Amino acid sequence: MENQDIEDLKQLVEFLKEQEVAEFDLDRGDLKIRLKFSQPAAPPPAITQIVPAVPAMAAGLPLMAHAAPMAPAPAPAAAAAPAEDPEANLHVIKSPIVGTFYGSPSPGAGAFVSPGDHVEKGQVVCIVEAMKLMNEIESDAAGEIVKVLVTNGQPIEFGQPLFSVRTA
């Protein structure tokens, strides 16, 4: 690397640290750069634009992409009275694994359960595909399905709510 390349790289590293970027990858032909920074406990501020503030690298390589501005988080809504909340005291069936949610046994088949259906404890309510394995997820409570909280084909996380159930 030439001296100017090293200086540009130092400027890039300083800028990424100032913006609290966690990871940065650049892969251009035989030039490969991967940077990882430790993050503070507090969430980092939103990054609005990276590219205009970073000088172009000496090799004349364009940077990878522009970061889209992030919208500010919506203000929390005022809490309703608990006695009036129709979804209060609902049981939530959560995902026991990370994967992809499927509400039916096969494409084109009917859903395992829909809002209004009655389920028994141990009844299969959906499938979560994880590492090419289809895992049947069973209800852990008996009651009426009030709401399906995810869509078919959606990636889901461990502990993510899948269904709201009104227990009897």
Q: Report the pLDDT value the prediction gives residue 67, as an integer from 0 to 100.
A: 46
Q: Under CATH, which architecture does the 85-167 domain have?
A: Beta Barrel (2.40)
Query: What is the pLDDT at residue 148?
Result: 93
SS3 assignment, position 51: helix
DSSP for 4-35, please give it: HHHHHHHHHHHHHHHTT-SEEEEEETTEEEEE
Residues of the chain with CATH 2.40.50.100: 85-167
Amino acid at 17: K
Report pTM: 0.48
**In this predicted structure, what is the pLDDT of residue 158?**
92
CA–CA gap between residue 115 and residue 21 (Å, rounded): 42
pLDDT, averaged in runs of 10, over the chain (168 residues): 77 79 76 71 53 47 48 50 58 93 90 93 93 91 93 92 90
